[in-house]
Amino acid sequence: MSSFQFFGMQPYQADPSSQINAALDAVKALVISLDGVLTNGTITLDGEGREMPGVYARDLVGIREALRLGMKVAVIAGRQAGAYRQVLEAAGPVDLFLDGEERLEAYEAFKSRHGLQDDECACIADDIDDLELLKKAGLPVTPINGAEYLRNRVAYISVFEGGRGCVREIAEMILDHQNRWEHSEKPNN
């Protein structure tokens, strides 16, 4: 028997598309790992040793639109990453955990602050440090270049790499599924 599980069930126990649709219906919040998801995982320092933040503009637009359309958004770094604060705050009222907070504690604080349940959270993460977050989230996602170990432990693998459109894809996918994405290509019924 395979150890592969989809939302805690063996693949033959559930129709995957109905499971993803149910998860997309429930999502009210997006939890994003900074390194490797919102960034490409590269940490660049200037001549003074200060981190130089680099975030893909399309991902920031995805965050901005998610916030504008009523979703809650958290970015969790798991390390000191204050250099990203100004860039991320420009997208809107994002809950930022950039001071080295433990990932799971940051996730629980975010949920508590906004009265959210696990099944109302989509989590995009790329490495084993984020595994506990992915296990708890109602919609666990990894970028296409996420750690191989996570591939059988998430509901969806983005077609985009971390730092290159993954966040935008997931934000748009959730909002489009919920008929809130104003730029949908769906035909009118």
Of 115, 60, 48, 128, give the one whose Cα is nearest residue 90. Answer: 60
Other beta carbons less than 10 A from residue 92's beta carbon:
14
CA 29, CA 113: separation in Å to the nearest integer? 12
Interval 43-101: pLDDT, tens? 778 788 877 778 899 999 999 999 999 999 999 997 888 888 888 998 999 999 998 88
Mean pLDDT of 139-143: 96
Kindly tell me if the per-residue pLDDT of 2 is higher than 50.
no
Could you report how far apart the first and last alpha carbons of the chain are, in Å? 43
List domains and CATH numbers for the chain: 17-177 (3.40.50.1000)
Please, is 26 exposed, middle or buried when counting C-beta atoms within 10 Å of its C-beta (0-12, 13-18, 19+)?
middle
Kindly tell me if the per-residue pLDDT of 178 is higher than 50.
yes
Mean pLDDT of 161-187: 89
What is the model's pTM?
A: 0.86
User: pLDDT over 70 for what percent of the chain?
Assistant: 88
Interval 100-135: pLDDT, tens? 889 999 999 999 999 999 999 999 999 999 999 999
